[in-house]
């Protein structure tokens, strides 16, 4: 149920099979903040011509597209594998059962070529309550990341991204959260 407030924001993601080709997001982490922005580059010729007072709009062309963004979230005990795969280039995708209901995933540094995410951010619109607009970013590569656990705090993962393109016509995916996901915190440090 939507609340008509900023609490209706959501972030979803999925690994892309081909870098830059958007896929439908299906994993939804809880997040603290996001800062994705689309930056289109335009070429605006400034040639003068007799009888024309202003630059002609017909000559304005988009020359490039660029996405940059950041995402900070509390590190969950589940659904974080794809982020680590894109951050360090690991090839592990399947968790292994350790004991009872405890699983582990080991991520070792590897090749980052071919590893990118489609990230969809749902942002509530302040002017029309109960409307959340989807901004879908394709070809998102991790440029930097930081994992931190401070004294008496929750473990956090902050990531910066560089992407290829933004789409605003893609439908907002319906967020569903993994049952039993917890957050790592300082009390678990030994």
Can you give the pTM of this predicted structure?
0.84
Asked whether the beta carbons of 122 and 172 are under 8 A apart, the reply is yes
Asked whether the beta carbons of 177 and 138 are under 8 A apart, the reply is no
Distance CA 30, CA 32 (A): 7
Predicted pLDDT at 41? 82
**Residue 93: pLDDT band by 50, 70, 90 thresholds?**
low
Distance CA 155, CA 149 (A): 4
Segment 159-171, tens digit of pLDDT: 999 999 999 999 9
pLDDT of residue 1 exceeding 60, the answer is no
Segment 135-155, tens digit of pLDDT: 999 999 999 999 998 888 899
**Residue 6: pLDDT band by 50, 70, 90 thresholds?**
low
Alpha helical stretches, state H, the chain: 81-88
């Amino acid at each position: 149920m939507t609340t008509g407030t900023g609490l209706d924001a959501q972030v979803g993601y999925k690994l892309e099979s081909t870098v830059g080709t958007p896929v439908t997001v299906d994993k939804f982490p809880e997040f603290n903040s996001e800062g994705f922005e689309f930056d289109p580059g335009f070429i605006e010729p400034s040639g003068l011509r007799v009888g024309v007072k202003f630059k002609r709009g017909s000559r304005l062309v988009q020359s490039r597209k660029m996405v940059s963004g950041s995402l900070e979230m509390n590190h969950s005990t589940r659904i974080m594998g794809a982020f680590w795969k894109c951050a360090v280039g690991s090839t592990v995708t399947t968790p292994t059962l350790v004991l009872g209901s405890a699983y582990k995933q080991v991520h070792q540094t590897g090749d980052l070529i071919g590893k990118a995410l489609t990230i969809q951010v749902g942002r509530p619109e302040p002017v029309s309550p109960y409307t959340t607009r989807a901004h879908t970013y394709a070809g998102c590569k991790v440029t930097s990341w930081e994992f931190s656990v401070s004294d008496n705090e929750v473990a956090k993962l902050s990531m910066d991204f560089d992407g290829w393109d933004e789409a605003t016509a893609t439908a907002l995916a319906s967020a569903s959260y993994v049952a039993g996901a917890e957050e790592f915190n300082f009390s678990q440090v030994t």
